[in-house]
């Protein structure tokens, strides 16, 4: 053995100090490889719809209901199954309701605990005892383990088993125990959660969604363009911040800003009232009326909406001017604004404006902020930078997130891969180098990381500017459209200007050779791999399929209420277990309250299944690859012990 290997094995021997310890671990890891693959759960384009998200997360896209059917089959009536499932989703709330009407809670506790133990056993089949133990709450760990592994059907154990449950009830721990079991079941039925982008914007509860995701036992996130502007805003990008504020005001979503992150909107409100006293409400009326606001408050939101929109257009102009390599000069058109004849020239064509109330735009320097606007921006930036909750969420998004993920032969990304009409990869040029395909994704991710981790201020600023580019740039894999026509939609009535031309990638996603090319570029075998993404809602009403080329799943079906009229459903989700993939569609979700009180579940409709050629085990997964690497290292350590290169120690 060479010296470097011996030094590595000496370090490893601190964890496994002798032959017995090494052999035990090798046996354990080899056994884990033979277990069935755990279930993965994929969601995307949640857009702040926290109630629907919470429910889909808790019912695991129907996995829990299928486990109940597996456990109790025809021995439990359908109404009882619905009630039992609701208990698992919302144990505290459901028990409170049951306690009002149930005459014999002691019997109910006993029966329910028994059923939950049965379901927990079935949910734990795929895992080692060690892994199951880690999911158990510390205060009930020993008791649950005893109940899970005891054979209560044996006469010698019946009294022991029953006595445990009766004692739990007698010491008034039944409700806490039931809550713990429900939580364990929800953890066990989903081994890994994948959020494929766009947690933020439109709906009111992105901050609630992130709090819930942070509590999940195993999760990864592929950033969407709506996520990236909030991350950029949290790090001090004024252009990202202005976009995040504008979209929140456009959808009257003040909950995330004020209640979630404590952003002080008073400076913007004061400035807006003074600057835009007669704002054109037809342009800036909110997309979703906030019932918590009265008419005067909604009018103020409209004024704030316009104020931040104008600030945004100026900040974006500054950013484009300092980044010529972004090649976005076609979005510089404020200098052609003509207030007297109400026109503007965009990409060489003159258009009539429906509003020229722009008191802060100086025709000589149209992208300069006024002193008042600059002060508003500074105060808002300070509020974003000092929001503890927002900073926590940004740190989490960095820690758990990436632009793409390769996991278990699946490629996950939010948007698209920029290509030419001939299906070849489109190259982004920066500092005399070109980046395309996977290299383009890696390039952008490097700059997103620089915005957070880089100490050099110039590189950090470049990273922040790239975060804005990822929001709406033509070569951004999170956007992948020619342009974002925000200004046109506000100020020009000619709807032909609204078109946001998609990259050819989107119309060619059914072309299997393109998907094969993408998978191969990311180092995957096209014969056994899939692409999972979101970003562009699947127009189900028009007959569009979320399955492309038999190896791509587009699971944006309209989680956000803003898309329901377009998609006809309330979102797709995907599960992937040892036997294959199941794509399901969801109906619109009424409310958590209705789900609890009336047991209204949004049980999904299966849209598509893709069975594996053979049942998959841990040995077939990325975790299995890591485990085999560990086994190889342990075998080298075993050889080192047996040949005397490494000295054994007692534990």
Q: Using one digit for the tens of pLDDT, what is the confidence trace for 113-153?
A: 999 999 999 999 888 888 888 889 999 999 888 888 766 55
CA distances in angstroms from 87 to 91, 100, 178, 199, 651, listed in the order given: 5, 15, 9, 27, 45
Q: Are 558 and 570 in contact (CB under 8 A)?
A: yes
- The answer as to whether 255 is a domain residue is yes
Return the structure tokens found at 4: 């470097």
Please give the pLDDT value at position 288.
64
The b/e string for 507-531 (b: 16+ C-beta within 10 A; e otherwise) is ebbeeeebbbbbbebbebebeebbb
The answer to whether residues 433 and 299 belong to one domain is: yes
Q: What are the φ/ψ torsions at residue 350 (nearest 5 degrees)?
A: -90, 135
Q: Which of 437, 472, 507 is a domain's end point?
A: 472
Q: Which of 172, 189, 206 is a domain's end point?
A: 189
Q: Are 379 and 444 in contact (CB under 8 A)?
A: no
Q: Are 234 and 384 in contact (CB under 8 A)?
A: yes
CA distances in angstroms from 186 to 62, 87, 606, listed in the order given: 11, 11, 21
- The answer as to whether 139 is a domain residue is yes
Q: Is the pLDDT of residue 154 over 60?
A: no
The answer to whether residues 240 and 353 belong to one domain is: yes
Return the structure tokens found at 351: 């258009």
The answer to whether residues 239 and 178 belong to one domain is: no
- The answer as to whether 520 is a domain residue is no
Residue from 476, 470, 464 nearest 235 by CA: 464
The answer to whether residues 443 and 335 belong to one domain is: yes
DSSP code at position 370: P
The answer to whether residues 76 and 22 belong to one domain is: no
Q: Is the pLDDT of residue 567 over 60?
A: no
Averaged pLDDT for residues 292-309: 88
The answer to whether residues 119 and 268 belong to one domain is: no
Q: Is the pLDDT of residue 630 over 80?
A: yes
Please give the pLDDT value at position 295.
80
Helix axes 622-642, 19-33, angle to 10 degrees: 160
- The answer as to whether 204 is a domain residue is no
Q: Is the pLDDT of residue 289 over 80?
A: no
The arrangement of strands across the sheet holding 192-195 comes to 401-402, 219-222, 192-195, 40-43, 572-577, 580-585, 605-611
pLDDT tier at 178, thresholds 50, 70, 90: very high
Return the structure tokens found at 55: 């429910």
The answer to whether residues 162 and 226 belong to one domain is: no
Name the H helices within 73-191. 78-89, 91-101, 105-123, 129-135, 141-149, 155-170, 174-189
- The answer as to whether 536 is a domain residue is no
The answer to whether residues 228 and 302 belong to one domain is: yes
**How does pLDDT run across 57-79, given as a tens digit for each residue?**
898 888 999 999 999 988 899 98
Q: Are 473 and 328 in contact (CB under 8 A)?
A: yes
Return the structure tokens found at 563: 């898309």
Lowest mean pLDDT among 154-163, 211-220, 524-533: 154-163
The b/e string for 43-77 (b: 16+ C-beta within 10 A; e otherwise) is bbbbbbbbbbbbbbbbbbbbbbbebbeebbeeeee
Q: Is the pLDDT of residue 595 over 90?
A: no
Give SS3 for 606.
strand
pLDDT tier at 553, thresholds 50, 70, 90: very high
Q: Is the pLDDT of residue 562 over 70?
A: no
pLDDT tier at 102, thresholds 50, 70, 90: confident
Give SS3 for 497.
helix
The answer to whether residues 300 and 440 belong to one domain is: yes
Return the structure tokens found at 27: 């046996």
Q: Is the pLDDT of residue 563 over 80?
A: no
**How does pLDDT run across 365-411, given as a tens digit for each residue?**
999 999 999 999 999 999 999 999 999 999 999 999 999 999 999 99
Give SS3 for 124.
coil
- The answer as to whether 512 is a domain residue is no
- Counted domains in the chain: 3
The answer to whether residues 81 and 122 belong to one domain is: yes
Please give the pLDDT value at position 305.
95
- The answer as to whether 118 is a domain residue is yes
Averaged pLDDT for residues 298-307: 92
- The answer as to whether 155 is a domain residue is yes
The answer to whether residues 114 and 178 belong to one domain is: yes
Q: Are 247 and 201 in contact (CB under 8 A)?
A: yes
Q: Which of 144, 164, 189 is a domain's end point?
A: 189
The answer to whether residues 267 and 144 belong to one domain is: no
Q: What are the φ/ψ torsions at residue 318 (nearest 5 degrees)?
A: -60, -40
> How many Å apart are CA 319 and CA 324, to the nearest integer?
9
DSSP code at position 256: I
Q: How many CB atoms lie within 10 A of CB 320?
A: 21
pLDDT tier at 156, thresholds 50, 70, 90: low
> How many Å apart are CA 564 and CA 557, to the nearest integer?
8
Q: Is the pLDDT of residue 557 over 90?
A: no
User: What residue numbers bound the domain in which 363 lies?
Assistant: 222-384+428-472
pLDDT tier at 540, thresholds 50, 70, 90: confident
Lowest mean pLDDT among 147-161, 243-257, 270-284, 429-443: 147-161
- pTM for this predicted structure: 0.93
CA distances in angstroms from 547 to 239, 433, 530, 572, listed in the order given: 35, 35, 10, 11
> How many Å apart are CA 143 and CA 141, to the nearest integer?
6
Please give the pLDDT value at position 281.
64
């Amino acid at each position: 053995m060479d010296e470097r290997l011996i030094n590595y094995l000496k370090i490893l021997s601190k964890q496994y100090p002798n032959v017995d310890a090494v052999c035990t671990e090798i046996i354990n890891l080899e056994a884990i490889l033979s277990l069935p693959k755990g279930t993965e759960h994929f969601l995307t384009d949640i857009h702040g719809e926290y109630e629907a998200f919470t429910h889909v997360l808790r019912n695991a896209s129907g996995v829990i209901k299928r486990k109940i059917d597996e456990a109790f089959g025809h021995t439990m009536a359908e109404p009882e199954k619905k009630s039992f499932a609701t208990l698992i989703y919302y144990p505290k709330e459901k028990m409170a309701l049951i306690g009002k009407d149930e005459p014999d809670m002691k019997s109910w506790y006993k029966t329910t605990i028994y059923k939950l133990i049965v379901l927990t056993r079935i949910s734990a089949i795929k895992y080692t005892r060690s892994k199951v133990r880690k999911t158990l709450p510390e205060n009930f760990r020993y008791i649950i383990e005893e109940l899970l592994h005891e054979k209560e059907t044996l006469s010698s154990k019946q009294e022991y088993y029953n006595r445990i449950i009766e004692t739990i009830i007698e010491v008034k721990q039944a409700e806490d125990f039931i809550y713990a079991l429900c939580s364990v079941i929800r953890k066990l039925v989903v081994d890994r959660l994948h959020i494929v982008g766009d947690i933020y914007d439109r709906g009111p509860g992105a901050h609630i969604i992130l709090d819930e995701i942070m509590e999940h036992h195993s999760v990864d996130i592929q950033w969407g363009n709506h996520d990236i502007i909030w991350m950029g805003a949290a790090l001090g990008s004024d252009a990202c911040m202005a976009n995040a504020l504008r979209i929140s005001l456009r959808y009257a979503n003040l909950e995330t800003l004020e209640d979630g992150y404590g952003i002080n909107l008073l400076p913007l409100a004061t400035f807006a009232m003074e600057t835009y006293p007669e704002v054109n409400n037809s342009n800036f009326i909110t997309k979703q009326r906030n019932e918590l606001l009265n008419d005067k408050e909604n009018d103020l939101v409209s004024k704030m909406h316009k104020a931040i929109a104008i600030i945004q257009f100026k900040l974006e102009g500054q950013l484009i001017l300092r980044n010529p390599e972004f090649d976005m000069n076609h979005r510089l058109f404020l200098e052609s604004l003509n207030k007297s004849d109400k026109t503007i020239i965009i990409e060489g064509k003159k258009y009539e404006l429906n509003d020229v109330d722009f008191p802060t735009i100086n025709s000589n320097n149209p992208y300069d902020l006024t002193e008042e606007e600059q002060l508003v921006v500074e105060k808002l930036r300070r509020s974003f930078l000092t929001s503890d909750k927002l900073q926590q969420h940004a740190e989490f998004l960095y820690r758990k997130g990436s632009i793409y993920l390769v996991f278990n032969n699946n490629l996950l990304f939010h948007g698209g891969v920029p290509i030419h009409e001939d299906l070849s990869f489109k190259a982004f040029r920066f500092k005399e180098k070109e980046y395309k395909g996977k290299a383009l994704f890696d390039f952008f991710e490097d700059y997103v990381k620089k915005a957070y981790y880089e100490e050099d201020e110039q590189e950090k600023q470049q990273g922040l500017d790239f975060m804005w580019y990822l929001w709406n740039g033509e070569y951004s894999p999170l956007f992948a459209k020619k342009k974002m026509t925000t200004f046109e939609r506000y100020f020009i009535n000619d709807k032909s200007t609204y078109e946001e031309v998609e990259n050819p990638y989107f119309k060619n996603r059914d072309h299997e050779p393109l998907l094969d090319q993408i998978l191969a570029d990311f180092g995957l075998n096209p014969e056994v791999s899939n692409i999972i993404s979101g970003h562009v809602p699947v127009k189900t009403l028009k007959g569009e399929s979320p399955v492309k080329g038999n190896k791509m799943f587009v699971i944006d079906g309209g989680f956000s209420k803003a898309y329901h009229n377009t998609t006809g459903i309330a979102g797709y989700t995907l599960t992937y277990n040892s036997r294959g993939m199941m794509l399901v569609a969801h109906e619109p979700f009424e409310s958590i309250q209705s789900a609890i009180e009336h047991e209204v579940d949004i049980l999904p409709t299966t849209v598509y299944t893709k069975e594996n050629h053979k049942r998959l085990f841990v040995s077939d997964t990325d975790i299995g690859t890591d485990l085999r690497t560990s086994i190889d290292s342990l075998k080298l350590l075993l050889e080192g012990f047996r040949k005397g290169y490494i000295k054994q120690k007692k534990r």
